[in-house]
A and B are shown apart, each in its own frame.
Chain A
Amino acid sequence: MSIDIRGVNKSFGDFAALTDINLAIPSGKITALLGPSGGGKTTLLRIVAGLENADSGTVSIEGADTTNVPARKRNIGFVFQHYAVFKHLTVAGNVGFGLSIRHRPKDEIAAKVNELLELVHLEQFADRLPSQLSGGQRQRMALARALAIQPALLLLDEPFGALDAKVRKELREWLRELHDKMHVTTVFVTHDQEEALEVADNVVVINSGTVEQVGPPATLYDEPASPFVMGFLGEVTTLGGQLIRPHDIVIHTDPRPGALAGTIVRAQRVGFEARLHVRPEGAAADGSSDVLVNLTRTFARSLGLHEGEQVWLEPEDGATTLPAAGVSASGRPAPVLGSPRREGEDVAGSLTSKDVAGSLTDCRCDYAPGSVRLHGSGCWLA
């Protein structure tokens, strides 16, 4: 079931949660809505489901305009960010809810519920109350409940949000398998780029209420349309005025023509990786223009790299780069890039969310009227 979203706008008071969203979601595929917290992902999903009304614009499902179709008639399975389980019903009661309100015969409901509980591996918990389930089990129950109505479209709002890394990974694979079995058009929200890249056929990057880029995972990763997308899909650093991924940098221990000379000021080990902070020659001592380089630990050891050593850096052949001061994340030419803002800084003035161009590493912005508070190290202003 394909979805066509055209010119959708939504404001809460004078806060624009979504601005002019145009999006086509292909039938039978898994699409990920990826973006930072507060970007409008849930709002968009709720509008598609009919749980929220857009201020303007249309949502067509399979070519038919849904503007006047109430949520209960859309036949869309929705898995909520916070599960929204029916607390007073057992697991079986929750899963069978959609069928029971359709007055299906009892034995048909029971059979369907059993089938779904098997599918989500909860057969032995049928008679428990949701409060007696773990987070992951509750999550799978919510999924089974949404599947019970045989939805033409499945919307999942951060389905694995509240779970630990290992369970997330399991459920992620399981969701992919489930989809390959059932072929129901699926849209899921996440702010975990790895999840989006791994599970989805198609990724939509959403930031501050606008669509930044749409495409298959590989395209987004290799050809990011903006610094924001590049930064959101993985770590990014600046090398000679170009945004580049830290593992796309080649490090030499002898001078090379065109390579940037610098000194290793910090060497960290994170798992199998070595992360080097290289300060270019003559660069500021505050670390604001340090280049981050990632390489495997074995490789770093084979080069005998350690703090204080001089190295030369150049981009790997075919590395993805973007001009660091080229365009802002909102697609407008950035006037002058402010220097990366510091953590916790209050930026007074009449800034809107659009003025914060994006994040290099981990930037979080709290907006309040007249001020933007930035957290993390990689925020900058357009």
Chain B
Amino acid sequence: MKWALRIFVILYVGLLVIWPVYLVGQRTFEGGWSGIVTALTSPEVLHGLRLTLVATFWSVLFNLVFGVGISLLLVRKEFRGKGVLSVLLDLPMSVSPVVVGLALMLVYAPDTVVGRFLYGAGYQIIFATPGIVLATTFVALPLVIREVVPVLQEIGDDQEVAAQSLGATPWQSFWRVTLPGIKWAVIYGVVLTLARSLGEFGAVKVVSGNVSLQTQTATLVVQDTYQNFQPETAYTLSLVLIILAIACITVVSILRPRKARKAA
């Protein structure tokens, strides 16, 4: 029984994760180092990676600030529509990214009211970097909130009240008491947001227009090069994304036991 279970797990993980990832690595190195260098220095790849980093940077920044703020609002304040808000905040995770992209199009496309207004003011959202940032931010929205809310609930407001009675302003109490208390949850949420943003594909594909060297993020470049018979470029870039993801997971798994120990 035990053996059967082990073999099952090994087969399952092997066929779904290890074997495919291994093959990506193998294909990448098939052309030798020169192939890798060529692939990585191609303008498409460099541009895609840069755009992905830009989108990820803003997504992490926005989700960090708003995620912590909204979590505080949800846990510490009473207001009407709180239940609705918390359901809405989970939506980006449960809806397919393609749908998210389409929904964003409906609001921000150049032929809509909002889109036209913004375009008139000199901002292009759809088919441009702002749209990509928007889509990436949107799909990763709940990650910080989901990490921070339970921790805020667990630590309660005792320490914040104590800080207040000792003369702290709300701002001081946030920086000196609340934030240190939720620090690990925030870091954990940020790492997850990072990983999610780096890998985002569906929503970005819809809103970006997928124009090579202009609005193609790394994941879009992977698809594009693969379909255009440049598999070695696709594999190399894939491997880069895999390595970034593994780095994120490693950071998380280093953090997670510490978080668990703190909670115990």
Contact = CB atoms under 8 A, between A and B. Distances in A.
B180 A49 contact: no
Contact of A82 (B158, B167, B168, B183): B158
B165 A102 contact: no
B128 interface: no
Contact of B164 (A72, A77, A146, A149): A72
Contacts of A181: none
B181 interface: yes
A101 B167 contact: yes
B125 to A, nearest CB: 41
B159 to A, nearest CB: 6
A78 B169 contact: no
B158 to A, nearest CB: 4
Given A88-B180, A88-B181, A97 B163 contact: yes
A87 B181 contact: yes
A17 interface: no
Contact of B167 (A49, A85, A89, A102): A102
Interface in B141-186: 155, 158-159, 161-169, 172, 176-177, 180-181, 183
A80 interface: yes
B179 to A, nearest CB: 10
Given A80-B162, A87-B159, A149 B181 contact: no
Contact of B176 (A51, A101, A146): A101
Interface string A128-162: 00000000000000000110110000000000000
A71 B164 contact: yes
Nearest to A148: B166
Interface in A73-113: 73, 75-78, 80, 82, 84-89, 97-98, 101-102
A60 B158 CA distance: 25
A133 to B, nearest CB: 16
A75 B166 CA distance: 7
A174 B215 CA distance: 72
A98 B166 contact: yes
A88 B159 CA distance: 11
B168 A72 contact: yes
Given A88-B180, A97-B176, A72 B162 contact: no
Nearest to B179: A88
A99 to B, nearest CB: 9
A84 B158 contact: yes
How many A residues touch the partner, as a band? Answer: 20 to 34
A73 B180 CA distance: 24
Contacts of B172: 101
Given A98-B166, A102-B167, A80 B158 contact: yes
Contacts of B155: 87
Contacts of A77: 165
B175 to A, nearest CB: 10
A379 B172 CA distance: 48
B180 A101 contact: no
Contacts of B176: 86, 97, 101
Interface string A185-206: 0000000000000000000000
A151 to B, nearest CB: 9
For A82, A101, A102, the residue with the greatest tally of chain B CB atoms inside 10 Å of its CB is: A101
A149 B167 contact: yes
A49 B165 contact: yes
A81 to B, nearest CB: 9
Given A97-B176, A101-B176, A84 B168 contact: no
B132 to A, nearest CB: 38
B166 A51 contact: no
A149 B180 contact: no
A84 B159 contact: yes
Contacts of A87: 155, 159, 181
A97 B159 contact: no
Contacts of A97: 163, 166, 168, 176
B174 to A, nearest CB: 12
Given A86-B159, A86-B162, A72 B169 contact: yes
B258 to A, nearest CB: 13
Nearest to B170: A72
Contacts of A101: 163, 166-169, 172, 176
A70 B161 CA distance: 12
For B167, B169, B172, B177, the residue with the greatest tally of chain A CB atoms inside 10 Å of its CB is: B167
Given A51-B165, A76-B165, A101-B167, 12 more contacts: A72-B165, A77-B165, A78-B162, A80-B158, A82-B158, A85-B159, A86-B176, A88-B183, A101-B168, A145-B166, A148-B166, A149-B167
Interface of A: 49, 51, 70-73, 75-78, 80, 82, 84-89, 97-98, 101-102, 145-146, 148-149
Q: Which 8 residue pairs are nearest across A and B when measured between Cβ atoms? A: A98-B166, A84-B158, A84-B162, A88-B180, A78-B165, A72-B167, A101-B168, A101-B172
15 contacts: A49-B165, A51-B161, A71-B165, A73-B167, A75-B167, A78-B162, A84-B159, A84-B161, A89-B180, A97-B163, A97-B176, A101-B163, A101-B167, A146-B165, A148-B166
